[in-house]
Structure 1
Amino acid sequence: MRIGVVEDDDGVASALVDALEANRITAHRMARGTELLTRHPDFDLVLLDLGLPDMDGIEVLRRLRQVSAVPVIVLTARDDERSVVRGLRNGADDYLVKPARITELLARIEAIRRRAQRASASSTDLREFGDVLVDLSGRTLEVGGEQIQLTTKEFQLLAMLVDSPGTAVSRQHMMDHIWGDAFVTVSRSLDVHMTALRSKIGRPGLIETIRGFGYRWTGEQ
Protein backbone atom coordinates (compact mmCIF):
# COMPACT_ATOMS: atom_id res chain seq x y z
CA MET A 1 0.00 0.00 0.00
CA ARG A 2 1.29 3.46 -0.93
CA ILE A 3 0.25 6.37 1.29
CA GLY A 4 0.81 10.05 0.63
CA VAL A 5 1.39 12.09 3.79
CA VAL A 6 0.56 15.76 3.20
CA GLU A 7 1.98 17.52 6.26
CA ASP A 8 4.06 20.71 6.48
CA ASP A 9 5.37 20.09 10.02
CA ASP A 10 8.67 18.23 9.65
CA GLY A 11 8.47 16.52 13.04
CA VAL A 12 4.90 15.30 12.62
CA ALA A 13 5.54 14.17 9.05
CA SER A 14 8.68 12.26 10.02
CA ALA A 15 6.89 10.48 12.87
CA LEU A 16 4.00 9.49 10.60
CA VAL A 17 6.24 8.20 7.81
CA ASP A 18 8.36 6.21 10.28
CA ALA A 19 5.29 4.68 11.93
CA LEU A 20 3.74 3.69 8.61
CA GLU A 21 6.92 2.19 7.24
CA ALA A 22 7.44 0.30 10.51
CA ASN A 23 4.13 -1.37 9.66
CA ARG A 24 5.27 -2.22 6.12
CA ILE A 25 3.39 0.61 4.46
CA THR A 26 5.20 2.68 1.84
CA ALA A 27 4.85 6.36 2.73
CA HIS A 28 5.84 9.52 0.86
CA ARG A 29 5.78 12.93 2.54
CA MET A 30 4.58 16.10 0.80
CA ALA A 31 4.57 19.54 2.40
CA ARG A 32 2.22 21.32 -0.02
CA GLY A 33 -1.25 20.72 -1.36
CA THR A 34 -0.21 21.46 -4.92
CA GLU A 35 2.20 18.54 -4.81
CA LEU A 36 -0.65 16.18 -3.96
CA LEU A 37 -2.74 17.54 -6.84
CA THR A 38 -0.01 16.58 -9.29
CA ARG A 39 1.00 13.27 -7.66
CA HIS A 40 -2.33 11.78 -6.56
CA PRO A 41 -2.16 8.85 -9.05
CA ASP A 42 0.89 7.57 -7.14
CA PHE A 43 -1.04 6.75 -3.96
CA ASP A 44 -3.62 4.27 -2.68
CA LEU A 45 -4.58 6.53 0.23
CA VAL A 46 -3.77 10.04 1.44
CA LEU A 47 -3.31 11.50 4.93
CA LEU A 48 -4.14 15.20 4.58
CA ASP A 49 -3.41 18.02 7.02
CA LEU A 50 -5.69 21.06 6.69
CA GLY A 51 -3.19 23.72 7.74
CA LEU A 52 -0.91 23.81 4.69
CA PRO A 53 1.35 26.70 3.63
CA ASP A 54 0.16 27.07 0.04
CA MET A 55 -3.61 26.54 0.35
CA ASP A 56 -6.17 25.40 2.88
CA GLY A 57 -6.56 21.64 3.09
CA ILE A 58 -10.31 21.83 2.44
CA GLU A 59 -9.59 23.53 -0.88
CA VAL A 60 -6.99 20.86 -1.68
CA LEU A 61 -9.61 18.19 -0.93
CA ARG A 62 -12.22 19.94 -3.06
CA ARG A 63 -9.86 20.14 -6.05
CA LEU A 64 -8.66 16.58 -5.56
CA ARG A 65 -12.22 15.25 -5.67
CA GLN A 66 -12.68 16.83 -9.09
CA VAL A 67 -9.99 14.55 -10.51
CA SER A 68 -9.56 11.55 -8.19
CA ALA A 69 -11.43 9.15 -5.89
CA VAL A 70 -8.31 8.19 -3.91
CA PRO A 71 -9.32 7.63 -0.24
CA VAL A 72 -8.42 10.53 2.05
CA ILE A 73 -8.13 10.64 5.82
CA VAL A 74 -7.98 14.19 7.13
CA LEU A 75 -5.42 14.36 9.96
CA THR A 76 -5.45 17.80 11.53
CA ALA A 77 -5.40 19.82 14.73
CA ARG A 78 -8.78 21.35 13.87
CA ASP A 79 -11.29 19.70 16.17
CA ASP A 80 -14.29 22.02 15.77
CA GLU A 81 -17.51 20.59 14.40
CA ARG A 82 -17.57 22.93 11.39
CA SER A 83 -14.17 21.72 10.17
CA VAL A 84 -15.14 18.07 10.61
CA VAL A 85 -18.38 18.56 8.68
CA ARG A 86 -16.65 20.53 5.90
CA GLY A 87 -13.96 17.89 5.55
CA LEU A 88 -16.43 15.02 5.25
CA ARG A 89 -18.79 16.92 2.95
CA ASN A 90 -15.92 17.80 0.62
CA GLY A 91 -14.95 14.18 0.13
CA ALA A 92 -12.86 12.98 3.07
CA ASP A 93 -13.34 9.30 3.88
CA ASP A 94 -12.42 9.81 7.53
CA TYR A 95 -11.36 12.56 9.94
CA LEU A 96 -8.86 12.30 12.79
CA VAL A 97 -7.71 14.98 15.21
CA LYS A 98 -4.04 15.32 16.14
CA PRO A 99 -2.33 13.89 17.99
CA ALA A 100 -3.73 10.64 16.64
CA ARG A 101 -2.80 7.32 18.18
CA ILE A 102 -0.94 5.25 15.62
CA THR A 103 -2.94 2.12 16.45
CA GLU A 104 -6.19 3.96 15.73
CA LEU A 105 -4.81 5.47 12.52
CA LEU A 106 -3.69 2.05 11.29
CA ALA A 107 -7.11 0.60 12.12
CA ARG A 108 -8.87 3.29 10.12
CA ILE A 109 -6.51 2.80 7.18
CA GLU A 110 -7.25 -0.92 7.27
CA ALA A 111 -11.01 -0.28 7.43
CA ILE A 112 -10.84 1.92 4.32
CA ARG A 113 -8.71 -0.70 2.54
CA ARG A 114 -11.27 -3.43 3.31
CA ARG A 115 -14.15 -1.28 2.05
CA ALA A 116 -12.27 -0.64 -1.19
CA GLN A 117 -11.60 -4.36 -1.66
CA ARG A 118 -15.25 -5.25 -1.08
CA ALA A 119 -16.39 -2.61 -3.55
CA SER A 120 -13.93 -3.91 -6.13
CA ALA A 121 -14.95 -7.54 -5.62
CA SER A 122 -18.65 -6.75 -5.93
CA SER A 123 -18.40 -4.78 -9.13
CA THR A 124 -18.55 -6.33 -12.57
CA ASP A 125 -15.92 -5.57 -15.16
CA LEU A 126 -18.13 -6.18 -18.19
CA ARG A 127 -20.20 -3.43 -19.83
CA GLU A 128 -22.61 -4.43 -22.61
CA PHE A 129 -24.52 -2.05 -24.88
CA GLY A 130 -26.24 -3.89 -27.70
CA ASP A 131 -23.47 -5.39 -29.81
CA VAL A 132 -20.80 -3.31 -28.04
CA LEU A 133 -18.99 -5.18 -25.25
CA VAL A 134 -16.34 -3.55 -23.04
CA ASP A 135 -14.23 -5.65 -20.67
CA LEU A 136 -12.67 -3.22 -18.19
CA SER A 137 -10.37 -5.76 -16.54
CA GLY A 138 -9.31 -7.38 -19.81
CA ARG A 139 -9.07 -3.94 -21.44
CA THR A 140 -10.83 -5.14 -24.59
CA LEU A 141 -13.55 -3.78 -26.85
CA GLU A 142 -15.77 -5.86 -29.12
CA VAL A 143 -18.18 -4.40 -31.64
CA GLY A 144 -20.48 -6.78 -33.51
CA GLY A 145 -18.41 -9.74 -32.32
CA GLU A 146 -15.17 -8.26 -33.69
CA GLN A 147 -12.37 -7.22 -31.34
CA ILE A 148 -11.29 -3.60 -31.84
CA GLN A 149 -7.71 -2.58 -31.11
CA LEU A 150 -7.43 0.59 -29.00
CA THR A 151 -4.44 2.54 -27.76
CA THR A 152 -3.95 2.83 -23.99
CA LYS A 153 -5.42 6.33 -23.80
CA GLU A 154 -8.30 5.49 -26.12
CA PHE A 155 -9.28 2.64 -23.81
CA GLN A 156 -8.90 4.86 -20.73
CA LEU A 157 -11.30 7.36 -22.27
CA LEU A 158 -13.74 4.59 -23.14
CA ALA A 159 -13.53 3.11 -19.63
CA MET A 160 -14.32 6.45 -18.00
CA LEU A 161 -17.42 6.87 -20.15
CA VAL A 162 -18.87 3.34 -19.98
CA ASP A 163 -18.26 3.04 -16.23
CA SER A 164 -20.94 5.70 -15.66
CA PRO A 165 -23.33 5.51 -18.63
CA GLY A 166 -25.62 8.50 -18.91
CA THR A 167 -23.35 10.62 -16.70
CA ALA A 168 -21.69 13.69 -18.17
CA VAL A 169 -17.90 13.59 -17.79
CA SER A 170 -16.07 16.90 -18.07
CA ARG A 171 -13.13 17.42 -20.41
CA GLN A 172 -11.07 18.67 -17.49
CA HIS A 173 -11.77 15.53 -15.46
CA MET A 174 -10.75 13.35 -18.41
CA MET A 175 -7.51 15.25 -18.95
CA ASP A 176 -6.61 15.27 -15.26
CA HIS A 177 -7.44 11.59 -14.75
CA ILE A 178 -5.82 10.17 -17.88
CA TRP A 179 -2.86 12.46 -18.39
CA GLY A 180 -2.25 12.50 -14.63
CA ASP A 181 -1.63 16.19 -13.97
CA ALA A 182 -4.26 18.61 -12.73
CA PHE A 183 -2.32 21.55 -14.21
CA VAL A 184 -1.42 20.38 -17.71
CA THR A 185 -3.65 21.44 -20.57
CA VAL A 186 -3.86 18.69 -23.17
CA SER A 187 -7.13 19.68 -24.81
CA ARG A 188 -5.98 19.06 -28.39
CA SER A 189 -4.66 15.60 -27.51
CA LEU A 190 -8.01 14.73 -25.96
CA ASP A 191 -9.82 15.77 -29.15
CA VAL A 192 -7.55 13.61 -31.31
CA HIS A 193 -7.99 10.53 -29.11
CA MET A 194 -11.76 11.00 -28.86
CA THR A 195 -12.10 11.31 -32.63
CA ALA A 196 -10.09 8.11 -33.11
CA LEU A 197 -12.14 6.27 -30.47
CA ARG A 198 -15.44 7.22 -32.10
CA SER A 199 -14.16 6.14 -35.49
CA LYS A 200 -13.03 2.74 -34.20
CA ILE A 201 -16.32 2.05 -32.40
CA GLY A 202 -18.24 3.00 -35.55
CA ARG A 203 -21.55 3.48 -33.75
CA PRO A 204 -22.76 7.10 -34.05
CA GLY A 205 -24.70 8.26 -31.04
CA LEU A 206 -22.95 6.15 -28.40
CA ILE A 207 -20.70 9.04 -27.33
CA GLU A 208 -22.52 12.35 -27.03
CA THR A 209 -20.66 15.66 -27.03
CA ILE A 210 -21.89 18.12 -24.42
CA ARG A 211 -20.87 21.47 -25.83
CA GLY A 212 -18.71 23.52 -23.48
CA PHE A 213 -18.44 20.69 -20.93
CA GLY A 214 -17.42 17.23 -22.09
CA TYR A 215 -18.89 13.89 -23.13
CA ARG A 216 -21.48 11.29 -22.15
CA TRP A 217 -21.86 7.60 -23.00
CA THR A 218 -25.51 7.28 -23.99
CA GLY A 219 -25.53 3.56 -24.75
CA GLU A 220 -27.89 4.33 -27.63
CA GLN A 221 -27.01 3.62 -31.26
Structure 2
Amino acid sequence: MRNVLVVERESSAADAMVRDLRRQGYAARSVGTGAHALHAYREADLVLLSLELPDVDGIKVCRSLRAASDIPLIAYTRRDDELERVLALKAGADDCVAQTWGFREIGARIEAVLRRSRRGPAHSEAISLRPLHIDPRTREVRLRDQLIDVTSKEFELLYILASNCGPRATSH
Protein backbone atom coordinates (compact mmCIF):
# COMPACT_ATOMS: atom_id res chain seq x y z
CA MET A 1 0.00 0.00 0.00
CA ARG A 2 1.39 3.40 -1.02
CA ASN A 3 1.61 6.19 1.56
CA VAL A 4 0.41 9.62 0.43
CA LEU A 5 1.08 12.75 2.45
CA VAL A 6 -1.53 15.46 1.85
CA VAL A 7 -0.28 18.97 2.65
CA GLU A 8 -3.37 21.15 2.97
CA ARG A 9 -4.08 24.15 5.23
CA GLU A 10 -7.84 23.61 5.48
CA SER A 11 -8.55 20.64 7.73
CA SER A 12 -11.96 19.87 6.17
CA ALA A 13 -10.44 19.72 2.68
CA ALA A 14 -7.52 17.63 3.97
CA ASP A 15 -9.90 15.21 5.70
CA ALA A 16 -11.92 14.80 2.50
CA MET A 17 -8.78 14.13 0.43
CA VAL A 18 -7.43 11.62 2.94
CA ARG A 19 -10.79 9.85 3.07
CA ASP A 20 -11.03 9.64 -0.73
CA LEU A 21 -7.43 8.47 -1.09
CA ARG A 22 -8.06 5.74 1.46
CA ARG A 23 -11.13 4.64 -0.53
CA GLN A 24 -8.83 4.31 -3.53
CA GLY A 25 -6.52 2.02 -1.57
CA TYR A 26 -3.83 4.43 -0.39
CA ALA A 27 -2.57 4.89 3.13
CA ALA A 28 -2.98 8.64 3.54
CA ARG A 29 -2.48 11.27 6.19
CA SER A 30 -2.31 15.04 6.22
CA VAL A 31 -0.37 17.94 7.65
CA GLY A 32 -1.48 21.55 7.62
CA THR A 33 1.74 23.51 7.13
CA GLY A 34 4.81 23.59 4.96
CA ALA A 35 7.05 23.20 8.01
CA HIS A 36 5.29 19.97 8.95
CA ALA A 37 5.54 18.75 5.36
CA LEU A 38 9.32 19.22 5.38
CA HIS A 39 9.56 16.75 8.27
CA ALA A 40 6.73 14.32 7.45
CA TYR A 41 7.57 13.61 3.78
CA ARG A 42 10.18 10.98 4.73
CA GLU A 43 7.41 8.55 5.72
CA ALA A 44 5.51 9.00 2.44
CA ASP A 45 5.78 7.51 -1.04
CA LEU A 46 4.23 10.62 -2.61
CA VAL A 47 3.39 14.17 -1.53
CA LEU A 48 0.19 15.92 -2.63
CA LEU A 49 1.06 19.58 -1.93
CA SER A 50 -1.22 22.59 -1.82
CA LEU A 51 0.56 25.72 -3.03
CA GLU A 52 -1.54 27.84 -0.63
CA LEU A 53 -0.09 27.21 2.83
CA PRO A 54 -0.38 29.33 5.98
CA ASP A 55 3.30 29.46 6.96
CA VAL A 56 5.51 29.05 3.89
CA ASP A 57 4.93 29.69 0.20
CA GLY A 58 4.04 26.38 -1.47
CA ILE A 59 6.58 26.98 -4.26
CA LYS A 60 9.31 27.28 -1.60
CA VAL A 61 8.13 24.04 0.04
CA CYS A 62 8.18 22.36 -3.37
CA ARG A 63 11.72 23.60 -4.02
CA SER A 64 12.88 22.49 -0.54
CA LEU A 65 11.35 19.02 -0.92
CA ARG A 66 12.98 18.59 -4.31
CA ALA A 67 16.36 19.74 -3.05
CA ALA A 68 16.18 17.27 -0.17
CA SER A 69 14.64 14.30 -1.96
CA ASP A 70 13.40 12.80 -5.19
CA ILE A 71 10.04 11.91 -3.61
CA PRO A 72 7.21 11.98 -6.15
CA LEU A 73 5.41 15.31 -5.76
CA ILE A 74 2.12 16.56 -7.14
CA ALA A 75 1.36 20.22 -6.43
CA TYR A 76 -2.10 21.73 -6.70
CA THR A 77 -3.61 25.18 -6.53
CA ARG A 78 -7.10 26.56 -5.97
CA ARG A 79 -6.46 29.24 -8.57
CA ASP A 80 -6.55 28.46 -12.26
CA ASP A 81 -3.27 30.28 -12.78
CA GLU A 82 -0.95 28.97 -15.48
CA LEU A 83 2.05 30.90 -14.14
CA GLU A 84 1.70 29.34 -10.68
CA ARG A 85 1.52 25.83 -12.18
CA VAL A 86 4.59 26.54 -14.33
CA LEU A 87 6.51 27.85 -11.30
CA ALA A 88 5.62 24.70 -9.33
CA LEU A 89 6.86 22.48 -12.16
CA LYS A 90 10.08 24.49 -12.42
CA ALA A 91 10.49 24.22 -8.63
CA GLY A 92 10.50 20.44 -8.94
CA ALA A 93 6.91 19.21 -8.87
CA ASP A 94 6.35 16.12 -11.02
CA ASP A 95 2.85 17.37 -11.84
CA CYS A 96 0.76 20.42 -10.97
CA VAL A 97 -2.99 20.77 -11.35
CA ALA A 98 -5.78 23.19 -10.54
CA GLN A 99 -7.86 21.81 -7.67
CA THR A 100 -10.88 21.12 -9.83
CA TRP A 101 -10.02 17.46 -10.25
CA GLY A 102 -12.22 14.48 -9.63
CA PHE A 103 -10.75 11.85 -7.37
CA ARG A 104 -10.47 9.34 -10.21
CA GLU A 105 -8.30 11.89 -12.03
CA ILE A 106 -6.02 12.56 -9.05
CA GLY A 107 -5.76 8.79 -8.48
CA ALA A 108 -4.66 8.36 -12.10
CA ARG A 109 -2.15 11.21 -11.77
CA ILE A 110 -0.74 9.67 -8.58
CA GLU A 111 -0.30 6.30 -10.31
CA ALA A 112 1.36 7.95 -13.34
CA VAL A 113 3.82 9.89 -11.17
CA LEU A 114 4.59 6.79 -9.08
CA ARG A 115 5.19 4.76 -12.27
CA ARG A 116 7.65 7.33 -13.59
CA SER A 117 9.45 7.62 -10.25
CA ARG A 118 10.41 3.92 -10.16
CA ARG A 119 13.00 4.43 -12.92
CA GLY A 120 15.62 6.30 -10.87
CA PRO A 121 18.60 4.98 -8.91
CA ALA A 122 16.77 5.11 -5.53
CA HIS A 123 16.95 1.34 -5.05
CA SER A 124 20.38 0.90 -6.62
CA GLU A 125 23.67 0.25 -4.91
CA ALA A 126 26.28 2.79 -3.88
CA ILE A 127 29.16 3.43 -6.28
CA SER A 128 32.75 4.16 -5.25
CA LEU A 129 35.15 5.55 -7.81
CA ARG A 130 37.99 6.54 -5.53
CA PRO A 131 37.93 9.32 -4.35
CA LEU A 132 34.25 9.76 -5.37
CA HIS A 133 31.45 7.97 -3.48
CA ILE A 134 27.77 8.12 -4.60
CA ASP A 135 25.05 6.69 -2.35
CA PRO A 136 21.56 6.57 -3.91
CA ARG A 137 19.85 5.61 -0.63
CA THR A 138 20.93 8.81 1.12
CA ARG A 139 21.40 10.75 -2.14
CA GLU A 140 24.82 11.85 -0.94
CA VAL A 141 27.87 12.53 -3.06
CA ARG A 142 31.22 12.60 -1.30
CA LEU A 143 34.59 13.55 -2.73
CA ARG A 144 37.52 12.62 -0.50
CA ASP A 145 34.99 12.08 2.33
CA GLN A 146 33.69 15.65 1.97
CA LEU A 147 29.96 16.02 1.30
CA ILE A 148 29.25 17.71 -2.04
CA ASP A 149 26.01 19.68 -2.42
CA VAL A 150 24.19 18.62 -5.61
CA THR A 151 20.65 19.09 -6.89
CA SER A 152 18.37 16.13 -7.51
CA LYS A 153 18.97 16.26 -11.28
CA GLU A 154 22.73 16.61 -10.83
CA PHE A 155 22.68 13.56 -8.55
CA GLU A 156 20.73 11.47 -11.06
CA LEU A 157 23.03 12.46 -13.92
CA LEU A 158 26.17 11.81 -11.89
CA TYR A 159 24.87 8.41 -10.76
CA ILE A 160 24.01 7.39 -14.33
CA LEU A 161 27.41 8.51 -15.64
CA ALA A 162 29.31 6.79 -12.81
CA SER A 163 27.36 3.56 -13.18
CA ASN A 164 28.17 3.44 -16.90
CA CYS A 165 31.84 4.44 -16.82
CA GLY A 166 34.58 2.32 -18.39
CA PRO A 167 35.82 -0.42 -16.02
CA ARG A 168 32.99 -1.43 -13.71
CA ALA A 169 32.68 0.79 -10.66
CA THR A 170 33.04 -0.80 -7.26
CA SER A 171 29.63 -1.14 -5.62
CA HIS A 172 28.93 -1.50 -1.92
Question: Could you tell me the TM-score, scaled by structure 1's length?
Answer: 0.58
Structure-to-structure mapping, 1:165-184, within 5 angstroms:
169-170=148-149
Provide the residue aligned with 1:161 in structure 2.
141
What SS is found at the alignment partner of 1:51?
coil
Structure 1 residues 92 and 135, CA gap change in structure 2 (3 angstroms): closer
Output the aligned Cα RMSD: 3.2
1:124 Cα offset (Å): 5.1
Q: How many aligned residue pairs are there?
A: 148
Partners of 1:49 and 1:65 lie apart in 2 by 15
How far is 1:169 from its partner? 2.2
1:119 positional shift: 3.2
Q: Distance in 1 between matches of 2:111 and 2:6?
A: 16
1:16 matched to 2:21: no
Consecutive unaligned residues in structure 1, runs of 5 or more: 138-154, 174-218
Amino acid at match of 1:84: R
Matching residue of 2:76: 75
Q: What TM-score do the two structures reach when normalised by structure 2? A: 0.73
Which of 1 and 2 has higher RCO (CA within 8 Å, sep 6+)? 2
The alpha carbon displacement at 1:60 in A equals 1.2
SS of the residue corresponding to residue 30 of structure 2 reads: strand
Instruction: Give the deviation of 1:56 after TM superposition.
Output: 1.4
Q: Distance in 2 between matches of 1:84 and 1:14?
A: 24
Quickly say closer, same or farther: Cα 1:76–1:135, change in 2 above 3 A: closer
Shift of 1:104: 0.8
CA drift at 1:41:
0.9
1:18 counterpart SS class: helix
112-121 or 12-21, which moves further after superposition? 112-121
Q: Is the 8 A contact 1:7 1:29 kept in 2?
A: yes
Which residue number corresponds to residue 42 of structure 1? 43
Letter in 2 for 1:127: I
**Is the contact between residue 40 and residue 68 of structure 1 (CA under 8 Å) also seen in structure 2?**
no
User: What SS does the corresponding residue of 1:24 show, helix, strand or coil?
Assistant: coil
2:94 is the alignment partner of 1:89: no
Larger radius of gyration: 1
